[in-house]
Amino acid sequence: MNICKAKNYQDMSRKAANIISAQVIMKPHCVLGLATGSSPIGTYKQLIEWYNKGDLDFARVMSINLDEYKGLSPENPQSYRYFMNTNLFDHINIDKARTFVPNGLEPDPEKACAEYEEIIRKSGGIDLQLLGLGRNGHIGFNEPADAFARETHCVNLTESTIDANKRFFESEDDVPRQAYTMGIGSIMKARKILVVVSGEDKADALKATICGPITPQVPASILQLHNDVTIVADEAALSKMDI
């Protein structure tokens, strides 16, 4: 694992955006695996800034997002499709028809997940997967569990994740209890993985991810087995480690 120490959230975001830019410049028709949550917002802002300066062209890029709340429509401001449109896609020249997020409105989990795996398979594989890290070590919505889930599946969100994400909803009761997420197997197939981590509340999860045993109780710990992972973390997130 390549650990890159950033001073703060802004520095982390710029470093991560540099890595994504390099990917897009080197392979203009690349497949980007994208993430939601507060961790990547600064990275997306930076990419938009460089796009506006004429440094980046997303016309041939395809994107595949990690996850979506089950039951939320693309127009729902809390949906991850809405998040991606407003935080990135609406501001760059990506072809929206080539941006994919699991279909939160598909009530049949088997159908929703099989369709999404087919999209990943047909894409030819994700070149660079961007990830945030949950406070409990989750990646995508792969929550701590007894076994690693391989493919896209439907999950019941844990109390910790519902608590962490309630800030985006009017009340905790409005947070959906289920989501569709790419599995650990789908994530691990990406050619390169980039993880952005900021803040002291992630320090324990980050330490367990990097130094702990590989266990489905800390889903991100599986990344130790991937051969091309870069973690860009700020000083606060690295505060429990000697790095």
Taking the complex as a whole, the smallest distance from the CB of residue 22 to ligand F6P amounts, in Å, to 21
Binder of ligand F6P out of 141, 182, 210, 219 (CB under 6 A): 141
Judged by CB, which is closer to ligand F6P: 60, or 212? 212
- C-alpha 14, offset from chain centre: 17
Judged by CB, which is closer to ligand F6P: 10, or 27? 10
37 touching ligand F6P, by CB under 6 A? yes
Evaluate the CA torsion angle 58, 61, 64, 66 in order and state its sign. negative
38 touching ligand F6P, by CB under 6 A? yes
Binding mask 80-119 for ligand F6P (x = CB under 6 A): ----------------------------------------
Stretch that binds ligand F6P, among 34-42, 70-78, 101-109, 110-118 (CB under 6 A): 34-42
Taking the complex as a whole, the smallest distance from the CB of residue 73 to ligand F6P amounts, in Å, to 18
Binding mask 156-185 for ligand F6P (x = CB under 6 A): ---------x--------------------
140 touching ligand F6P, by CB under 6 A? yes
Judged by CB, which is closer to ligand F6P: 132, or 176? 132
51 touching ligand F6P, by CB under 6 A? no
Q: Which of 143, 153, 165, 234 is catalytic?
A: 143
Which residues make Cβ contacts (< 8 Å) with residue 66, sequence separation at least 6? Answer: 33, 34, 35, 36, 131, 139, 140, 141, 181, 182, 187
Letter for the amino acid at 139?
Answer: I
Which residues make Cβ contacts (< 8 Å) with residue 242, sequence separation at least 6? Answer: none
Sheet containing strand 67-69, edge to edge, reads: 67-69, 178-181, 153-156
219 touching ligand F6P, by CB under 6 A? no
76 is catalytic: no
- Residue 112: name the closest of 152, 155, 73, 150 by CA: 152
SS3 89: helix
CB 20 within 8 A of CB 116: no
CA distances from 122 to 25, 51, 106, 109 (A): 22, 27, 20, 20
Judged by CB, which is closer to ligand F6P: 60, or 144? 144
Strand partners, 148: none
SS3 153: strand
Largest distance between two CA atoms of the chain: 47
Stretch that binds ligand F6P, among 35-43, 86-94, 109-117, 204-212 (CB under 6 A): 35-43
CB 195 within 8 A of CB 186: no
Specify the residue for token string 């992972």.
229
173 is catalytic: no
Q: Which residues are at the interface with ligand F6P (CB under 6 A)?
A: 35-39, 67, 132-134, 140-141, 165
Active site residues: 67, 136, 138, 143
